Every structure is written in structure tokens, then in C-alpha cells.
Structure 1
Amino acid sequence: MKSKNTLLLVVLLVLVGAAAYFFTNKGSEKSTLNSKETAFTVTDTASVDKIFIAAKTGASNTLTRQKNGRWLLNDKYEARQDKINSLLATMHRMEVKRPADKASRNLAIRDFATLGKKVEVYQHGELSKVFYVGQTTDDNLGTYFIMEGSENPYVLHIPGFNGFINTRFDIAEANWRSVPVFRSNAQSIQELNIEYVGDPKATLNIKQNNDQYAIAGLKETDQENVKAYLDNYAFINGQYFLPNPQNRVSDSLAISKPAAIITLTDSNPEKSRTIKLYPKTEDYLIALNEKKKEVMSVQTYVFNRLLIRKEGLGKN
């Protein structure tokens, strides 16, 4: 009797242990995967300070976080913050969906060799992981990834997102570039002149002298309103740069008649610029920075905050 009870106890312990193992690992496909081969997710994106993306064509982009929190593209351009945020969120949220099946594995590996993008992620100044981003799955609900040094590709996705994620690892430099038009504030602006072509009486000219602002043609200036208005110039962006092969577009615009010309003189000469505005559609304008030969598409509602009449800045 005693031996029977002992046997039953052993069987019971085995069953409890098996049940515990089953429920602990149930639904956890990742527990059977190689952790080094599947460590694609970046859990701490706040520590990411550099991302390198390269294509087999030789094109590449290096994104570097600056001390002020903004990102620099290829050590020369301001990077678009919205695309940076999207990329970091993607690397944080993406998960392994499954290993590549036998039918697609060889095709995925072949695509890595020809169409893949290499991604290097740096955290705290050190290289933390290197992986390759491939093509999408047949159902367009996943993207093939492979870790450097591995022979096994995996399908990654973002839970709750029905789409592919390889486009987030963009290789086109133009798509990563921010389109800065103005980066000045009220304290640094020495003079601002807005010429409304065809309406010279509407010209707005503001000059600063020891933090006091004078507007040509107005007896009294509302200082607080002027400062609030000039602070609009602290962060004015365009939408995107328009193609300008051999400067043909910028040269053609330079000899055309604009709707308005904004000339800003900053205490920092690098922030001083002249922007010519040309009608495009009801919602968009073309902006020309003639000095830099840059042609940009800008939104009308953004520039409507700048294109005001001087009477609005005077005292009632």
C-alpha cells in the first residue's frame, strides 16, 4: 500500500511538472528559436545614437543623433524627425513571426544578396547589432530579416500592423532630408523684409535694435506681437526638395516673377537667407533659396503665418 502511494505521488509530480512546462511554453514559439539569430528588436531606442543603412548598389545613409536630440543625415543634412521616429518605433515594435519556411528560404537568401539592405545599430557609441532587411512575404504581411553571421532568415512583422516594414529602412537620401526653410527666433533676427511683388505699399520691414523692433511705415509697434510673430521663424519646414538637375529649375525660377520675397538677416550669418515664393496650387507654393540653389515644395497654410500685413503689428 505504501509503495502504491509512493508511485502515485511520483506520477503526480511528473504530471504536474509536465503541465507546468507545457503552460509555461505554450504559444511561445520564440522559446524554440535561437536567441542570437532572432535578436532584431531594439528594446531601448533612447540609447540608439547611430544607424547605418546600406544597399547592395553602394548607396548608404548614416543617421547620427546630436547632443540636442536632433538627427544628422550623412554628416551634412538635418534629418526628418518624423522618419527617424518611425524607424525607431519600427525597430522597437518589430517581432519575429516565424522562421522562413523551406519553400521560401532559398529565395529569401538570394534576395538578401541582391536586394537586401544592411543595417547597423549603434547604442551608447558601440555597435550593438547588424542585420539585413530583405523582401516582403507573398502575403505582404511580413518582411524577411537575417542576422549577420546567421544562415537562417526569419519573417518579421509589427503586431497589429497589416503590412510590410522594409520600406521603413529607406535608402534614398532625399527621403531622409529635412527641408529647413527658416531656423531663427525673435532675439536673433536683425532685420526682416517681406516684399509683396506687385504691391510695394504692402512691404513689411522690421528692424531690431537692442531687443526693440521698429516697423517701417508704423508710428507705434506692438513689441509683444512682433516678438510672437518673429518666433514663427524658429522652425519653418518645407515638404520636400524638388528635383533640380544642373540647377535648371532654380535658374529658371530666379528670372521669373515671384509672388513674394522674404529676406531674413540673422545675427548668425548661416541662418540668414532670402526665399522667393511662387504660386503652385491653392495648397502649395514653390520656395526658392537662390543662394543654395534649393527648390522646395511648401504648404500655403504654413507660410500664411508669415505673409502678414504690417498693420497687424501696430498698436491700436
Structure 2
Amino acid sequence: MNRTLILLVAVVILGAGAYFLMSEEKQGTVSSVVGADREFSVPREDVYKVFLGDRNGNRTTLTRTSSGWVYNDEYPARPDAVENLLTAVDKIRMRFKPADAAIPNMIDGLATQGIKVEIYGKDNELLKTYYIGGATNDERGTHIILDGAEQPYVAEIPGWEGNLRFRYNLIGDDWRDRTIFRLNPENITSVSVEYPKQQNKSFRIDYNEAPKVEPFYPLTPRIQKPLQPSRVQAYRNNFEKIIASGFNNLNRERDEITQQIPFAIITVDTKNEDTQSLQLFPIFGKPFVDPKTGTTTQPTEVTGYYGLTHANDFMILQNPMVSKILWAYDFFYE
């Protein structure tokens, strides 16, 4: 009788203990030995560096600095791309443990196509390492495994549906900030816009003391109408943020395009003697072939611009963004 009672008490105690551990692990307040291989997140405030690498040789290092995040110790990183990554690093959670039958394929995919993720803290200490794989069939979860673990899982960001991999797998210039001009208007001392094929539209603005607008080419007749100071100031404000839609450095026709006469050359000088410039080359729509006559028509409508920056980057800009700085000489006058 006493033996039976003792066994019953032992079973109750063990059951209560197991329930407590399971409940605590589910709530995220305890990381047990069993659950340690499913703890993937790192608070974003603790993250100072992220390394990403894949089996194709792509290597990315994002580092937090006093002036913002830097890509591969050289270029300002793209803010929205870094934000997407840090959100994943901070909020990633296990969605479910896969069935045993699915594990071999998951392991194989993680080994061959996985992205290695190393997360470092303020003192360059390694905080977490894991591998991000492909998505589940419904695209609502992403395969993941901690470095050194044997059990893969399916991860998610709670409240968000989609493949997490895209937040980690940007390559090369896709991580770079696309901003061409990001200037404090008060620091701009002069702006010149040269239209080689429309010289009478070209101009130069001197913002020292009282702003002056003059023709860029000496032979262009000066406009004798009153200057509109509000337009001169509004134009300078447009250089606070000019952003390209993307880099195009790998374009095979880059050299051929940049050897042509630019549509416009924009040059900005600042108080710290920094000079930034942008050459613009129009992008036209694709030629149209008349099915009846077989004749080819080249569209004259400009759909966007290629831009060559002072840093020798080749970029693509959309019309609404470019129109903010492609003004004409006579627009500043009544």
C-alpha cells in the first residue's frame, strides 16, 4: 500500500514538473537543454554586426557605426534592407517542428542552399549562428537550423506571412544605399545644370549671400525678368533626398551608354568643399514593330534615366525623382 502511494506521488510530481517546463518554454521564459536549439532571435539593440555567406561565394558584412549601417566596410547600407534584416533577426521564432519524414530534405537543402548567418554584439562577440534555407510549400514558413544542431525547424515572424529568406539573401549592390544626393540645403553653395543639347536651358545658381541664377554658357542671353527667390530656394531643397531605383553597374552596355553626350550634367558644391555630380542619359521605350508593314519605330518618350555618379556608380532613376532637379534656366524668373 505504502509503495503504491509513493509511486503515485512520484508520477504526479514528475508530471507537474514536465508541465511547468513545457509551459515556461512555450512562453519563452526558459531556454531548456531540449529547447535551446530552437532559440533563434537576438534583440536588435544587441546587434552590431551581421555576416551573411552562401555556398556561391557571396559574402556580406553589415556593421553598425555612429553614422549608420555600413556594407562590407565601404558603402552606406540601404536603410530599408537593413531594417528588414534586423526585424527578422529580432522577431524570428520557431513556427513548428517538422515531421521526421521531412527532415532529410530540409537538411539537404540547408546544406546546399542555406545562408549562414552570424550575429555579433557590441564587442564583436558572436551571439548567434544559424542557417536560413528555403520556404515551406505554402510560403508561410522558412527552414532554419542552429549551427551545430541536428534538428531543423520551420521559422516565422509572428503576425507576418511570407518567406523570410528574402530578408537575408540580397547580393552585392542590393545592400547599398541608393541615395545619390542627401544634402542639407543650407550647406549647398552652388548648383549647376548643363544641358549639352539645350544650352539655353542650362543654368548655374550661386547660393552665397543673395542667390544668383545665371546662364551656364557665356553666350546664352541673360533673362531680364525679375527673379523668383522662392523658386530658387525650393530648387535647393530638392537635393535633400534624390534616390535611384537601383544600381546598374553590371549593365553590359554601360560603356557604350556613358560615352554618349549626356542629356544633363548636374553638379553640386557644398560648404565643406565637397563636390557631387550626376550625369543623366535618357532611357527610351522598346522599339515597336508594325505587324502590317514590318517597319520599326523608335519611341521618343523617356521612361527613365541612367545615371553616372561622381563615385562612378551606374544607376537607374525614375522620372518623378529626376524631374525634381531637371529645371530650366527660365523657370526661376517671372
TM-score by length of 1: 0.80
Where in structure 2 are the equivalents of 1:166-181 lying within 5 Å? 166-181=165-180
1:59 matched to which residue of 2? 58
Selected match of 1:87 from 85, 88, 91: 85
1:212 matched to which residue of 2? 210
Question: Relative to 1, partners in 2 of residues 1:185 and 1:271: Cα closer, same or farther, differing over 3 Å?
Answer: farther
Question: Relative to 1, partners in 2 of residues 1:67 and 1:284: Cα closer, same or farther, differing over 3 Å?
Answer: farther
Query: Within the alignment, does 1:147 sit opposite 2:151 as a pair?
Result: no
Q: Distance in 2 between matches of 1:143 and 1:172?
A: 19
1:38 matched to which residue of 2? 38
* CA offsets 1:51-104 (integer angstroms, 9 cap, x no match): 111112221100112213x21110111211111111111222321011232111
2:277 matched to which residue of 1? 273
Question: How far has the Cα of 1:290 moved from its partner?
Answer: 6.2
* CA offsets 1:128-176 (integer angstroms, 9 cap, x no match): 1111112222333211111112111111012333322112111411221
Question: How far has the Cα of 1:186 moved from its partner?
Answer: 2.8
Q: Distance in 2 between matches of 1:84 and 1:99?
A: 28
Query: Within the alignment, does 1:237 sit opposite 2:231 as a pair?
Result: no
Q: Distance in 2 between matches of 1:272 and 1:309?
A: 20
Once the two structures are aligned, what percentage of the paired residues are identical? 28
Question: How far has the Cα of 1:252 moved from its partner?
Answer: 1.5
Selected match of 1:260 from 253, 264, 270: 264
Q: Distance in 2 between matches of 1:127 and 1:109?
A: 24
Question: How far has the Cα of 1:197 moved from its partner?
Answer: 4.0
Structure 2, unaligned runs of 5 or more: 215-221, 286-300
Query: Within the alignment, does 1:298 sit opposite 2:317 as a pair?
Result: yes
Q: Distance in 1 between matches of 2:199 and 2:177?
A: 33
Q: Distance in 1 between matches of 2:155 and 2:275?
A: 43
1:115 matched to which residue of 2? 113
Q: Is the 2:265–2:280 Cα contact (8 Å) retained in structure 1?
A: yes
1:4 matched to which residue of 2? none
1:75 matched to which residue of 2? 73
The number of equivalent residue pairs is 299
Q: Is the 1:260–1:278 Cα contact (8 Å) retained in structure 2?
A: no
TM-score by length of 2: 0.76
Question: Alpha carbon RMSD of aligned pairs, Å?
Answer: 3.4
Structure 1 runs (4+) greater than 6 angstroms displaced: 29-33
Structure 1, unaligned runs of 5 or more: 1-6
1:289 matched to which residue of 2? 308
Question: How far has the Cα of 1:27 moved from its partner?
Answer: 11
Question: How far has the Cα of 1:269 moved from its partner?
Answer: 5.4
Question: How far has the Cα of 1:230 moved from its partner?
Answer: 1.3
Query: Within the alignment, does 1:47 sit opposite 2:38 as a pair?
Result: no
Question: Relative to 1, partners in 2 of residues 1:28 and 1:187: Cα closer, same or farther, differing over 3 Å?
Answer: closer
Between 214-223 and 81-90, the greater mean CA deviation after superposition:
214-223
